Amino acid sequence: MFLRLSALFVSALLVLLPGQPTSGQPAYVLSDEAGLGRLFDGIGGLSGGGATSRLLVNYKEPYRSQILDYLFKPNFGASLHILKVEIGGDAQTTDGTEPSHMHYENDENFFRGYEWWLMKEAKKRNPNITLIGLPWAFPGWVGRGKNWPYDFPDVTAAYVVNWILGAKKYHNLDIQYVGIWNEKSFDATYIKLLRYTLDKSGLDRVRIVASDNLWEPIAQSLLLDPELSGAVDVIGAHYPGTKTVPQALKTQKKLWSSEDYSTFNDEVGGGCWARILNQNYVNGLMTSTISWNLVASYYEDLPFGRDGLMTAQEPWSGNYVVESPIWITAHSTQFALPGWTYLQTVGHLGRGGSYVALTDGKGNLTVVIETMTHDHSVCIRPPLPAFNVTSQNATFQLKGSFASIKELQVWRSQFNFETKKPSFFQKLAPVKLIDGSFTLNLAEDEVYTFTTIRAGQKGSHPAPPPSARFPKAYKDNFNIRNPPFSEAPNFADQTGVFEYYQNLTDPGPHVFTLRQVVTERPITWAADADQTISVIGDYQWENLTVTCDVFMETVKSGGVFVAVRVDKGGQSVRSTKGIFLWVFADGTYKVTADLAGQTVLAEGQSGTGAYSWYTLSITGKGQSVSVALEGRSLWNGTVNLKQNHGWVAIGTSSFQLAQFDNFAVLAE
C-alpha cells in the first residue's frame, strides 16, 4: 500500500498526511487550501459484454420500470452517472451475443437488441447520464474474412462511427465516449483514423477511451506518440485492483477503471464495490469506475452469474432483487455529480479503510468513508493483498472553503456480517460541526456519507412478486411481437443471432418466425462455436418434451437442430454438451451428445431438404430419450450424459440462415 502511495506522491496530486491530532486521535483534514484534485467523471454500469441485460427487456410493467428506477433514477437508488453499452458485433461476448447494427456490409438497422432501449430509459430518468459505447466483436465483413479488425481500419472506423450517428438519428442519443476493442489489442493507426472519422462526421465532441485493457501498453504509446495522445482523452483500464502505474500518471490523461467489480452480488460483493469506489481514487487517481455488469439479467448458470449491481433474472415471475451494491453506489452517486472535483485530501484511515471528499466548487462537500475488511471486500480479481481494518475513532477537520460548514447530512451502511442483519443506506440525524470538526466511531465493514447535499433518498417500490422457476409449459409461435425488440423473449443467443422474421411473400402458415441471421463467422471476442445456438428455459430441466418447426435456407450444407439438457453457454459454448437432434438439407438426420457433433448417438435418412418446414421433437425421461420428425419416431435410446439436465436450445450447423417456429416445451 505505502509503496503505491510513494508513486502517487511523485504525481504531487495527493496529500495524505493527517492533520493536527485532537484529543489524542488523529485528525483527517478535508481542505481545498492547497488546491483541488482531479475532476470526477462519475460512477457507471456496463450493459453488454455480453448480453447481460438480455432478460431485463422482457419483464412486465411495472416491474421493468421499477428495476430501471433502482439503476438510473436520480436520488432513488444507484442513481448511476454513466451507462456504458456494448456495440453489438453478432458474436459471443461472455453471456451471449448482441446483434450488430450492420450484420452485412449493405445492411443497417438501429432497432436491434436492447441497448438502444436501455439508453433511452436511462436518459428518460437522468437526462445528464453519460453514454459510452465499446465494441467487443465485429461482424465478419468488417475484417474482410479475417478475425482481425485493423487490416481495414477505415472500414472499422466507419462501422463504429455509423453506430454513433445512428444513435443520434434514430434515438436522439448523444454518445459521449467511444472505445477501441474490449480487452484486445489496440492499433495506433486505427485510433487516429477513428478520431479523424469522428471529426469528419461532425462528432468532434465524442471522446475516445483507450484501450479498455491494461495501463502500460496504451500509456507507453501515448507518451511516445503525440498524435496518438491527441486522439485519446481517457485511459481506461480493467480490474486495476485500485492501482495505476507511473506511465499512466505521466500522460496526464483522465484515468478510469472502465470495467471493474464483476463480483457475485452478495454482501461481500457490496463490500468489494464499496472499497474500490473509494480506493480507485485514493490509490490510483481514477475518476470513474464502471461496474461489469449493470444488472444481472441473464440466466444464472451462464458464466459470472449474478455479477451485477442488482439481480433481475426472472422476467417470467417479475421477481428482482435490489442487492447491496445498489445502496453502496448511492453513497457516492447521490451526493456528488460528474463535474465535481475530488479534494487532494483523500486517503487511508489509520486503522484501515479509506475516505474520499468531493466538492462542487460552490461550497458543497461530500465525504465518503469505508472501513471494509479484507475478507468482506474481496473482488473476483485481481488478488487482494492482506490488510487489517479495526474499529477506530476518526476526527475530520474541515478547512479552507469548508471551515464554516455547521452541519452535515449523514448516511450509513453497516454490513453486520456477524448478525447477518445488514442495514444499507440509512439516513441518520445530521451531525453538528464544532469548529469545523466532527469525530466518528467507526466499526469494521461500514460505509458513511457526510454531505452538505440534502437531496439524498432511499427510494423504494412495493416488493416484487416472489421468485419462481421458468414455466414448465412454454410456447412461442413468434406471432406476438414485443414491439421495440428484435429478439423473442427468454431466448439467449450464444453463437449467432436469432431475430424475429416476417415472410412477406406468399407466407403460408409461417408468416412470423425466428430466424438465425449471421451468415459469416464474426471477428470474435470469445471462442464462438462453429454452429449457432440459442438457449432457453430452466437449467434444471431433465424430463421434458420440446417441439419446434424448422426451415433451412441453405441448400447444400444446411442443417438445424433442437436440443435438450444443454449444459453450457458463454465463452465455453464450443464444448457444449446435451442431446441434439439435427436434420440436414442433404436428407439425413443425426442425434449427437454435443454441439460440435463429435459424439454421434444415431444417424440415418430423414428425407429433409431446404425450403420446407419440418417439426422436430425430443422427449427426455431419465436416461430414455426419443426423437421424432414430423411426429414420426426416428430413434429411441438410452443416454448417460455427465450432466442430465440443462436448457433447451435451437440452432444451426454453421453460420447460415434458418428459421424456427411454433416452439413448445412441456416439462415435468
Ligand X SMILES: *[C@@H]1O[C@H](CO)[C@@H](O)[C@H](O)[C@H]1NC(C)=O
Known catalytic residues are 183, 259
Q: Are 138 and 81 in contact (CB under 8 A)?
A: no
How far apart CA 325 and CA 310 sit, in angstroms, is 7
C-alpha cell at 152: 481495414
Q: Considering the rule CB under 6 A, would residue 128 count as an interface residue with ligand X?
A: yes
- E-strand ranges in 294-436 read 311-314, 319-321, 341-343, 347-348, 354-359, 365-370, 392-398, 407-414, 423-432
Q: Are 390 and 372 in contact (CB under 8 A)?
A: no
Nearest to 546 by CA among 475, 442, 441, 623: 475
Residues 616-626 as b or e (16 or more Cβ within 10 Å = b)? bbbbbeeeebb
Only segment of 13-21, 108-116, 160-168, 385-393 that touches ligand X (CB under 6 A): 385-393
Residues 6+ away with beta carbon under 8 Å from 157: 190, 193, 194, 196, 197
Q: Considering the rule CB under 6 A, would residue 500 count as an interface residue with ligand X?
A: no
Site for ligand X in 298-327 (CB under 6 A): none
CB of 216 to ligand X, least distance (A): 27
Q: Considering the rule CB under 6 A, would residue 366 count as an interface residue with ligand X?
A: no
CB of 83 to ligand X, least distance (A): 13
- For residue 400, the one-letter residue type is G
Q: Considering the rule CB under 6 A, would residue 589 count as an interface residue with ligand X?
A: no
CB of 362 to ligand X, least distance (A): 5
Only segment of 170-178, 236-244, 375-383, 389-397 that touches ligand X (CB under 6 A): 389-397
Q: Considering the rule CB under 6 A, would residue 23 count as an interface residue with ligand X?
A: no
Q: Considering the rule CB under 6 A, would residue 392 count as an interface residue with ligand X?
A: yes
Site for ligand X in 330-349 (CB under 6 A): 337
Residue with cell 440466466: 299
Give DSSP secondary structure letters for 608-661. --TTSEEEEEEEEETTEEEEEETTEEEEEEE---SS---EEEEEESSS--EEEE
* 508/631 with CB nearer ligand X: 508
Q: Considering the rule CB under 6 A, would residue 607 count as an interface residue with ligand X?
A: no
Q: Considering the rule CB under 6 A, would residue 626 count as an interface residue with ligand X?
A: yes
Q: Considering the rule CB under 6 A, would residue 388 count as an interface residue with ligand X?
A: yes
Q: Considering the rule CB under 6 A, would residue 495 count as an interface residue with ligand X?
A: no
Of these, 505, 598, 638, 640, which contacts ligand X (CB under 6 A)? 505
Distances (CA, A) of 98 to 295, 296, 372, 558, 647: 16, 16, 36, 24, 19
Q: Considering the rule CB under 6 A, would residue 542 count as an interface residue with ligand X?
A: yes
How far apart CA 590 and CA 562 sit, in angstroms, is 11
C-alpha cell at 240: 486495476
- For residue 457, the one-letter residue type is Q
Of these, 176, 201, 393, 545, which contacts ligand X (CB under 6 A)? 393
Q: Are 401 and 341 in contact (CB under 8 A)?
A: no
* 261/660 with CB nearer ligand X: 660
* 483/508 with CB nearer ligand X: 508
Nearest to 262 by CA among 235, 234, 289, 287: 289
Q: Considering the rule CB under 6 A, would residue 200 count as an interface residue with ligand X?
A: no
Of these, 60, 200, 475, 621, which contacts ligand X (CB under 6 A)? 621
Nearest to 283 by CA among 252, 245, 253, 247: 245
Site for ligand X in 258-297 (CB under 6 A): none
How far apart CA 615 and CA 400 sit, in angstroms, is 76
First to last CA, the chain: 56
Q: Considering the rule CB under 6 A, would residue 391 count as an interface residue with ligand X?
A: yes
Distances (CA, A) of 49 to 110, 159, 456, 468, 509: 18, 18, 31, 27, 37
| Beta-carbon count within 10 A of 26 CB | 17
* 13/403 with CB nearer ligand X: 403
CB of 626 to ligand X, least distance (A): 5
CB of 627 to ligand X, least distance (A): 9
Site for ligand X in 44-103 (CB under 6 A): 74
Only segment of 263-271, 273-281, 290-298, 618-626 that touches ligand X (CB under 6 A): 618-626
Of these, 3, 386, 429, 463, which contacts ligand X (CB under 6 A)? 386
C-alpha cell at 148: 482481425
Q: Considering the rule CB under 6 A, would residue 449 count as an interface residue with ligand X?
A: no
Q: Considering the rule CB under 6 A, would residue 612 count as an interface residue with ligand X?
A: no
Burial of 475 from C-beta contacts in 10 A (0-12 / 13-18 / 19+): exposed
Q: Considering the rule CB under 6 A, would residue 126 count as an interface residue with ligand X?
A: yes
* 52/392 with CB nearer ligand X: 392
* 205/621 with CB nearer ligand X: 621
Of these, 196, 387, 417, 512, which contacts ligand X (CB under 6 A)? 387
Helix (H) or strand (E) holding 231: helix 226-231
Of these, 145, 484, 507, 587, which contacts ligand X (CB under 6 A)? 507
DSSP SS3 for 85 = strand
Interior angle at CA 210, CA 379 and CA 337, nearest 5? 65
Of these, 452, 519, 532, 662, which contacts ligand X (CB under 6 A)? 452
Please state the three-class secondary structure of 168-213 as a single string.
HHHHCCCCCEECCCCCCCCCHHHHHHHHHHHHHCCCCCCEEEEEEE
Q: Considering the rule CB under 6 A, would residue 1 count as an interface residue with ligand X?
A: no
Nearest to 589 by CA among 606, 574, 601: 606
CB of 386 to ligand X, least distance (A): 4
How far apart CA 659 and CA 515 sit, in angstroms, is 4
Q: Considering the rule CB under 6 A, would residue 364 count as an interface residue with ligand X?
A: yes
* 155/511 with CB nearer ligand X: 511
Of these, 11, 201, 414, 503, which contacts ligand X (CB under 6 A)? 503
Of these, 21, 62, 230, 622, which contacts ligand X (CB under 6 A)? 622
Sign of the alpha-carbon torsion through 51, 167, 203, 126: negative
* 365/523 with CB nearer ligand X: 365
Of these, 230, 246, 363, 382, which contacts ligand X (CB under 6 A)? 363
CB of 506 to ligand X, least distance (A): 4
CB of 360 to ligand X, least distance (A): 6
* 122/248 with CB nearer ligand X: 122
Q: Considering the rule CB under 6 A, would residue 587 count as an interface residue with ligand X?
A: no
CB of 264 to ligand X, least distance (A): 25
Only segment of 168-176, 259-267, 590-598, 629-637 that touches ligand X (CB under 6 A): 629-637
Of these, 147, 189, 502, 633, which contacts ligand X (CB under 6 A)? 633
Sign of the alpha-carbon torsion through 176, 178, 183, 186: negative
Site for ligand X in 404-423 (CB under 6 A): none
CB of 403 to ligand X, least distance (A): 12
Q: Considering the rule CB under 6 A, would residue 506 count as an interface residue with ligand X?
A: yes
DSSP SS3 for 574 = helix
Query: For binding to ligand X (CB under 6 A), which residues are involved?
Result: 74, 126, 128, 337, 362-364, 386-388, 391-393, 441, 452, 503, 505-508, 542-543, 553, 611, 621-622, 626, 633-636, 659, 668
